[in-house]
């Protein structure tokens, strides 16, 4: 078992039903302070994640997370990203992996066609429609591997298509109370029966019949192949889901095993590995 946990005194994960209910009750009490629109009728019932995320294969569209589920774990730890460059912006996805850090795809921070970093990135966890239920934050501190910066657009570079967004403080985490952990698959892990999930936010596209801006999507799939530095999987990816976590669940904990980055005939992304973990730790220590 290769759990890679980032050290933090604040890394308290409240994921069982009793604590989830307490979290939501506290949330309702503070909704005016947090400038949100939720009401008590939207407190969700506790259902299995699998009822929302049916198995998908290439060509299927992930299921929409209902607005009254968005404050549940794991949905509230998944973030909509709006990346702002001079004159334009685009969307991506990410996941909270520490009280102050969002894991995403490197090309959500530094696309292949840009030679500079964004002006700023807006982070919206627990977004539903246009309502950011726990607020949002803007970041100007982000990191990508040097290998990605130097080898964007190559197969070698894609194995380093991960990045980190540092939030200004832990205010959002104090409302979210939890995050995903990192997990490195190794030769002893039996992935043949492992159910994996992916969740994120579609970006705007003309052919979407619904308004996708703040709709979170979730799908369940399986791992096709584990490579040295990447993983291929059946979970479907569409535009905007880059940076989404590929994760599994164990004892009410959520473990990211890869960053969803590319959707072709075989969807894949860079694998969580010790090299990635050590690099993330160095970025955090900066």
Distance of alpha carbon 242 from alpha carbon 200, whole angstroms: 8
CATH fold, domain 52-285, is Thrombin, subunit H (2.40.10)
pTM (two decimals): 0.84
User: Mean pLDDT across the stretch 115-121?
Assistant: 94
Q: Express each pLDDT in 3-40 by its tens digit.
A: 665 654 433 343 444 465 566 566 555 555 554 444 43
The average confidence (pLDDT) of the chain is 80
List alpha helices for the chain, DSSP H.
17-29, 106-109, 146-151, 155-158, 171-176, 274-285
Burial class (CB in 10 A: 0-12, 13-18, 19+), 24: middle
The radius of gyration computed from the CA coordinates of the chain, to the nearest angstrom, equals: 17
The H or E element that residue 85 is part of is strand 78-85
Residue 238 Cα to chain centre, angstroms = 14
Distance of alpha carbon 238 from alpha carbon 106, whole angstroms: 17
**pLDDT at residue 139 in the model:** 97
| Domain edges within the chain | 52-285
3 touches 182 (CB < 8 A): yes
**pLDDT at residue 6 in the model:** 62
Q: Express each pLDDT in 202-256 by its tens digit.
A: 875 434 444 456 788 888 888 999 999 999 998 877 778 899 999 998 887 899 9
Give me the residue label for tokens 């209910």.
Answer: 21
């Amino acid at each position: 078992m290769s759990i890679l946990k980032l050290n933090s005194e604040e890394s308290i994960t409240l994921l069982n039903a009793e604590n989830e209910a307490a979290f939501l009750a506290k949330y309702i009490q503070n909704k005016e302070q947090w400038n949100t629109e939720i009401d008590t009728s939207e407190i969700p019932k506790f259902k299995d994640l699998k009822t929302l995320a049916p198995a998908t294969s290439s060509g299927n569209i992930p299921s929409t997370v209902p607005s009254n589920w968005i404050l549940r774990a794991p949905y509230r730890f998944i973030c909509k990203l709006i990346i702002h460059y001079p004159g334009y912006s685009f969307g991506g996805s990410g996941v909270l992996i520490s009280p102050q850090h969002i894991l995403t795809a490197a090309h959500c921070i530094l696309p292949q066609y840009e030679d500079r970093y964004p002006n700023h990135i807006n982070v919206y966890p627990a977004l539903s429609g246009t309502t950011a239920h726990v607020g949002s934050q803007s970041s100007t501190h982000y990191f990508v591997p040097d290998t990605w910066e130097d080898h964007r657009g190559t197969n070698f570079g894609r194995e380093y298509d991960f990045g980190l967004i540092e939030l200004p403080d832990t205010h959002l985490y104090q409302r979210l109370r939890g995050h995903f952990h990192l997990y490195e698959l190794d030769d002893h892990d039996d992935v043949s029966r492992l159910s994996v999930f992916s969740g994120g936010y579609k970006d705007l596209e003309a052919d979407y019949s619904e308004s996708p801006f703040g709709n979170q999507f979730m799908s369940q799939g399986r791992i096709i192949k584990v490579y040295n530095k990447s993983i291929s999987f059946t979970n479907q990816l569409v535009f905007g889901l880059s940076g989404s976590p590929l994760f599994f669940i164990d004892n009410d904990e959520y473990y990211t095993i890869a960053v969803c980055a590319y959707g072709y005939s075989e969807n894949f992304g860079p694998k969580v590995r010790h090299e990635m973990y050590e690099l993330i730790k160095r970025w955090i220590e900066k």
